């Protein structure tokens, strides 16, 4: 049996598809019972499923040359020690984390990669080949995202929402029998990675937070603009939508057959005409667009965490800055020069940390630094992990183009 061929157990995928299909069927029956609707039926058409997500992932990863294996890792039906099923979800079926592991050299350090909000592990497609030359790469879709299970999201607080992601990741780690790994998280994935490392520091060798969200709070002096904006009618409307948990994904689903074109316009603009670095080639853009659409249009689950983790304006309700003195894992922050996430929050956290911490800035890159400037991003990761991949070069100079903040 060749381990490093892309494969997914058909029985598991079928189970997951049935799970989504059951929810969709219930929702359809309910909507048909109503005689009135604000939306034409065509706008409720969602041409996607778990099978579509997995197929789109496979097409996108065809751009990667390194052999890999895809597996659905069973994490059970609920948090350990809890009588609930992932926080009051009605189904008691087991949940699965979509996991991609890339072939690597023997004894390579393990690097686990966690995606951000509205994304999935396939967003790292430009990085897998380069990083797999130095690490054993394992990339996951968080619970409720991508090709992972999408249970009903019934969390009612920030604490429950954090536990949803932290506990599911810990159950995944146990199932994979992992320990002493390097944990990399991007944006919201950085927030989850940091919260996980705070709760389970014994398993994490090094933390790499890429454009991490969650360091600033609404009480920061720089949020005064938000108070003024909320006083306007536009601000009031947007704040209401945020608190109502109206997500960008709902727009894509509501557009029905027009959804794919909306996503295409975004990807071609963000990673093309408005890119701050290396633009996507035609085939890259096409495959990423297809992948992004299916991950966004699938059943709502993890995306509904938004209002519980952040207040309007993307300010953390429980800022990581408050936990900085409790940090127990060496940490490297990576930001693109043009990242809309402010690296000053990381600088403030570093002053409070009692562990080694450095902040690396990558030129010609924005929030998606690993797509905008993959070469610079790889150099930053290699430098951050120099003591694990080149122990004799622990004092290696910072690669050209990168800067320390």
- Residue 227: per-residue pLDDT: 76
- Residue 80: per-residue pLDDT: 74
- Residue 91: per-residue pLDDT: 74
- Residue 66: per-residue pLDDT: 98
| Residue position matching structure tokens 């995944």 | 172
- What is the C-alpha separation between 27 and 32, in angstroms, rounded? 9
- Residue 34: per-residue pLDDT: 39
- Minimal CA–CA distance to 72: which of 12, 153, 150? 12
Task: Report mean pLDDT in 10-residue bins for the chain, 405 residues.
Answer: 40 37 39 40 59 95 98 90 73 91 94 97 98 97 96 93 96 96 98 98 98 81 72 89 92 91 94 90 96 95 95 90 96 96 92 97 97 97 92 72 95
What is the pTM (predicted TM-score) of this model? Answer: 0.87
| Residue position matching structure tokens 């009618």 | 233
Task: Judge contact between 305 and 165, C-beta under 8 A.
Answer: yes
- Minimal CA–CA distance to 404: which of 373, 379, 370? 379
- Residue 86: per-residue pLDDT: 74
- Residue 45: per-residue pLDDT: 54
- Residue 32: per-residue pLDDT: 41
Torsion angle of alpha carbons 378, 384, 385, 386, nearest 10°? 100
- What is the C-alpha separation between 119 and 187, in angstroms, rounded? 10
As a three-state string, the secondary structure of 237-259 is: HHHHHHHCCCCHHHHHHHCHHHH
Rounded to 5°, the CA angle 392-398-402 comes to 150
E strand intervals along 302-351: 310-311, 315-316, 331-336
Task: Judge contact between 257 and 47, C-beta under 8 A.
Answer: yes
The strand pair at 315-316 and 310-311 is best described as antiparallel
The strand pair at 110-114 and 181-186 is best described as parallel
Burial profile 229-261: b = 16 or more Cβ within 10 angstroms, e = fewer: beeeeebeebbeebeeeebebeebbebbeebbe
């Amino acid at each position: 049996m060749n381990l490093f061929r892309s494969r997914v157990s058909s029985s598991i995928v079928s189970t997951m598809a049935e799970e989504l299909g059951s929810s969709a069927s219930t929702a359809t029956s309910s909507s048909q019972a109503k005689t009135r609707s604000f939306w034409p039926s065509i706008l409720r058409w969602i041409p996607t499923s778990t099978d579509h997500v997995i197929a789109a992932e496979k097409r996108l990863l065809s751009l990667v040359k390194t052999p890999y294996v895809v597996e659905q890792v069973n994490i059970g039906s609920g948090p350990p020690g809890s009588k609930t099923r992932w926080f009051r979800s009605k189904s008691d079926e087991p949940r699965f984390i979509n996991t991609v592991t890339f072939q690597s050299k023997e004894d390579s350090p393990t690097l686990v990669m966690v995606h951000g909000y509205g994304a999935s592990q396939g967003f790292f497609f430009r990085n897998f080949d380069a990083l797999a030359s130095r690490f054993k790469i394992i990339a996951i879709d968080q619970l409720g995202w991508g090709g992972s299970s999408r249970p009903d999201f019934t969390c009612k607080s920030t604490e429950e929402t954090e536990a949803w992601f932290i506990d599911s990741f810990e159950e995944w780690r146990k199932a994979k029998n992992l320990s002493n790994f390097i944990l990399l998280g991007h944006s919201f994935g950085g927030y989850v990675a940091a919260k996980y490392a705070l709760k389970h520091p014994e398993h994490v060798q090094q933390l790499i937070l890429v454009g991490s969200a969650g360091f600033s709070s609404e009480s920061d002096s720089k949020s005064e603009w938000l108070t003024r904006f909320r006083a306007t009618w536009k601000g009031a409307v947007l704040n209401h939508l945020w608190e109502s948990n109206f997500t960008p994904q709902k727009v894509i689903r509501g557009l029905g057959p027009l959804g794919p074109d909306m996503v295409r316009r975004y990807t071609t603009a963000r990673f093309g005409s408005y890119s701050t670095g290396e633009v996507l080639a035609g085939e890259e853009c096409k495959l990423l667009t297809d992948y992004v659409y299916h991950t966004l249009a699938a059943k709502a689950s993890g995306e509904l965490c938004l209002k519980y983790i952040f207040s309007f304006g993307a300010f953390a309700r429980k800022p990581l800055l408050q936990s900085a003195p409790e940090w127990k894992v060496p940490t490297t922050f990576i930001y693109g020069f043009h990242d809309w996430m402010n690296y000053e929050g990381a600088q403030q956290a570093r002053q409070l940390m009692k562990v080694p911490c450095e902040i690396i800035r990558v030129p010609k890159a924005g929030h998606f630094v690993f797509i905008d400037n993959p070469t610079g991003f790889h150099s930053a990761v290699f430098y951050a992990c120099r003591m694990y991949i080149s122990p004799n070069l622990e004092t290696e100079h910072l690669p050209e183009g990168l800067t320390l903040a």
